[in-house]
Amino acid sequence: MNYKKILILVFPLFLLAVGAFYYIRNLADNSGGEIMISAEADSLDAQLPVTLMYGIPVDSFIVQKGKIKRNQNLSDLIREFNLPEGGYNRLVTMKSDVFDLRKIRAGNDYTVFLTNDSLQVLKYFVYEHSPVEYILFDFTDSLDVSRNEKQITVVEKTFTGKIETSLWNAIIKQNANPMLAIELSEIYAWSIDFFGLQPEDSISVIYDEHYVDSIPIDLGRISVAYFKHAGAEFFAIPFTQDSIESYFDIEGNSLRKAFLKAPLRFSRISSRYSYSRLHPILKIRRPHLGVDYAAPAGTPVQAIGDGKIVKKEYTKGGGYMLKIKHNSIYTTAYLHLSGYGKGISLGSYVKQGDVIGFVGSTGLSTGPHLDFRFYKNGSPVDPLKVEAPPVEPVSETNWAAFDSIKAEALNRLKAI
């Protein structure tokens, strides 16, 4: 055997081993005898993402979901699970300043987190009080109860379409959020008669929609809207003035006016203002100095403007009725009501949009409807032809800021 060759091969390895020994000893001397070894390769599991639900690591528990049943008691429901020692007693003696156990709602979701072992002890109970708010019962130590909110994601959306029958149907047809129809009807309540929409009317709008757990829960802010009605163009541009955000047209006039266009949100005109109408019951022709809105019984009736209740009575012809004096010039009347709104009494004051009564069929009436009347200086006028004055427009000092916002809004509309 050639020992010289072996020595040549082994000697460098021997020197490397000796060097490594002294290097490690030097590390130990400088670290108090503890050698710090990187564990990157062994800590890959720690770097894996943790799945959280209500802020709780799901992988650490057995998770079960359910719905609150009719007449189900929350404390009894929790008792069905294996509670920590004394957990039930702490629950039933819990103070209601955080959450009243009696306020649970049938049909709402709940989630339980049980220990991942044979005992399956309840550690967390989550009750979803609303799509956003949830109540967390923590049994990990002494009972802790907290109100929490899920994260809301805001998604910007657009809608554009033509009106064939109604705004509501146009939105439903394209599977958009039906609440958009309600929001738009409120923005344009002073400008557009939604009971007189025409087939060639169209709408374009940019708006926010709020999501929780990838489920839409409600509508957010409408960034800009355009409504073409009866050949006229109606823009709605949001602008904040005097710390209040409201909607203005492209000339800076507020869309909010002294009077709403109609006292009902959704309905249809069944009879118009006329000096010679055949009465459906009396079968004679006589003046009908108002507008009839056909709507289901119980539909809320709104005050079209601020004012004072000057008449509240039952008459043979008009049934239950109300009269509101808005100012020294205008007065409105609401007939055939089935009943009155909460707090409505003679001499009380109401605000625009307040529910003052409900559609009925009292008095001389063939079916549920609202007979709405408008008086100017004591004389009846056609409600559909009243031009209500707008509220304060964009002030001169704010015009530059409004002009900038308007330009951006119109450009965004063009893009859709």
Q: Which CATH number is 73's domain given?
A: 3.10.450.350
Residue 156 clears pLDDT 90, i.e. is over it: yes
- The CATH number of residue 356's host domain is 2.70.70.10
Q: Do residues 201 and 219 both lie within one domain?
A: yes
**Separation between Cα atoms, residue 259 and residue 357, nearest integer Å:** 17
Whether residue 57 contacts residue 63, with contact meaning beta carbons closer than 8 Å, is answered with: no
Q: How confident is the model at residue 287 (pLDDT cuts 50, 70, 90)?
A: low
Residue 101 clears pLDDT 90, i.e. is over it: no
Q: Span 359-368, mean pLDDT?
A: 88
Q: What is the pLDDT of residue 366?
A: 80
Residue 367 clears pLDDT 90, i.e. is over it: no
Q: Do residues 135 and 236 both lie within one domain?
A: no
Question: What is the DSSP track for 394-416?
Answer: --GGGHHHHHHHHHHHHHHHHH-
Domain boundary among 99, 128, 149: 149
The pair of structure tokens assigned to 124 is 């967390």
- The answer as to whether 19 is a domain residue is no
Q: Do residues 316 and 358 both lie within one domain?
A: yes
Lowest-confidence range among 88-92, 99-103, 155-159, 313-317? 88-92
Question: How does 123-151 read in b/e, with b if 16+ C-beta sit within 10 Å?
Answer: bbbbbbbebeebbbbbbeeebebeeeebe
Q: Do residues 365 and 309 both lie within one domain?
A: yes
Helix (H) or strand (E) holding 157: strand 153-162
**Separation between Cα atoms, residue 91 and residue 79, nearest integer Å:** 10
Q: What is the pLDDT of residue 180?
A: 94
Q: Do residues 274 and 378 both lie within one domain?
A: yes
Q: How confident is the model at residue 288 (pLDDT cuts 50, 70, 90)?
A: low
Q: How confident is the model at residue 391 (pLDDT cuts 50, 70, 90)?
A: confident
Q: Which of 405, 411, 415, 413 is nearest to 203 (CA)?
A: 413
Q: What is the pLDDT of residue 342?
A: 92
Q: How confident is the model at residue 289 (pLDDT cuts 50, 70, 90)?
A: low
Q: Do residues 218 and 178 both lie within one domain?
A: yes
**Separation between Cα atoms, residue 393 and residue 405, nearest integer Å:** 15
Helix (H) or strand (E) holding 67: strand 61-67
Q: What is the pLDDT of residue 202?
A: 93
Whether residue 321 contacts residue 339, with contact meaning beta carbons closer than 8 Å, is answered with: no
Q: What is the pLDDT of residue 8?
A: 53
- The answer as to whether 253 is a domain residue is no
Highest mean pLDDT among 6-20, 49-63, 83-97: 49-63
**Separation between Cα atoms, residue 307 and residue 327, nearest integer Å:** 7
Residue 275 clears pLDDT 50, i.e. is over it: no
The pair of structure tokens assigned to 281 is 């019951």
Whether residue 334 contacts residue 357, with contact meaning beta carbons closer than 8 Å, is answered with: yes
Q: What is the pLDDT of residue 24?
A: 44
Q: What is the pLDDT of residue 266?
A: 57
pLDDT digit string, tens, across residues 186-215: 899 888 878 778 888 999 999 999 999 888
Q: What is the pLDDT of residue 129?
A: 92
Residue 32 clears pLDDT 50, i.e. is over it: no
Cα distances from 25 to residues 15, 21, 29, 37, 224, in angstroms, run 16, 6, 6, 14, 73
Q: What is the pLDDT of residue 48?
A: 62
Q: Span 157-186, mean pLDDT?
A: 91
H helices of 218-286, where? Answer: none
Domain boundary among 134, 149, 164: 149
Q: Characterize the bridge pairing of strands 300-302 and 355-359.
A: antiparallel
Domain count across the chain: 3
What domain range includes position 354?
268-385
- The answer as to whether 187 is a domain residue is yes
The pair of structure tokens assigned to 322 is 């109300």
**Separation between Cα atoms, residue 32 and residue 35, nearest integer Å:** 8
Q: Span 72-87, mean pLDDT?
A: 82
- The answer as to whether 218 is a domain residue is yes
Q: Do residues 68 and 145 both lie within one domain?
A: yes
Q: Span 90-100, mean pLDDT?
A: 74
Helix (H) or strand (E) holding 14: helix 3-30
Q: Span 257-283, mean pLDDT?
A: 62
- The answer as to whether 237 is a domain residue is yes
> pTM for the complete prediction?
0.60
Those residues whose C-beta lies under 8 Å from the C-beta of residue 405, and which sit 6 or more positions away, are 237, 238, 239
- The answer as to whether 414 is a domain residue is no
Q: For residue 79, with 0-12 CB atoms within 10 Å meaning exposed, 13-18 middle and 19 or more buried, which class applies?
A: middle
Q: Do residues 281 and 351 both lie within one domain?
A: yes
The pair of structure tokens assigned to 164 is 């064939």
Residue recorded with tokens 């008449």: 311
Q: Do residues 283 and 366 both lie within one domain?
A: yes
Q: For residue 192, with 0-12 CB atoms within 10 Å meaning exposed, 13-18 middle and 19 or more buried, which class applies?
A: buried
Q: What is the pLDDT of residue 290?
A: 79
Question: What percent of the chain lies above the pLDDT cut of 70?
Answer: 81
Q: Do residues 157 and 103 both lie within one domain?
A: no
Those residues whose C-beta lies under 8 Å from the C-beta of residue 158, and which sit 6 or more positions away, are 204, 205, 206, 207, 416
Whether residue 124 contacts residue 112, with contact meaning beta carbons closer than 8 Å, is answered with: yes
Q: Span 221-250, mean pLDDT?
A: 93
Q: Do residues 312 and 340 both lie within one domain?
A: yes
Domain boundary among 119, 149, 179: 149
Lowest-confidence range among 2-11, 85-94, 310-319, 406-415? 2-11
Question: What percent of the chain lies above the pLDDT cut of 90?
Answer: 44
Whether residue 247 contacts residue 236, with contact meaning beta carbons closer than 8 Å, is answered with: yes
Q: Span 168-192, mean pLDDT?
A: 89
Q: Name the residue with higher pLDDT: 207 or 3.
A: 207
pLDDT digit string, tens, across residues 241-268: 888 898 999 999 998 888 888 898 755 5
Q: If you average pLDDT over every residue of the chain, what do you get? A: 82
Q: Do residues 55 and 164 both lie within one domain?
A: no
- The answer as to whether 170 is a domain residue is yes
- The answer as to whether 14 is a domain residue is no
HSE toward the beta carbon, residue 124, CA cutoff 13 A:
21
Whether residue 339 contacts residue 301, with contact meaning beta carbons closer than 8 Å, is answered with: no
Q: Which of 95, 99, 56, 55 is nearest to 74 (CA)?
A: 99
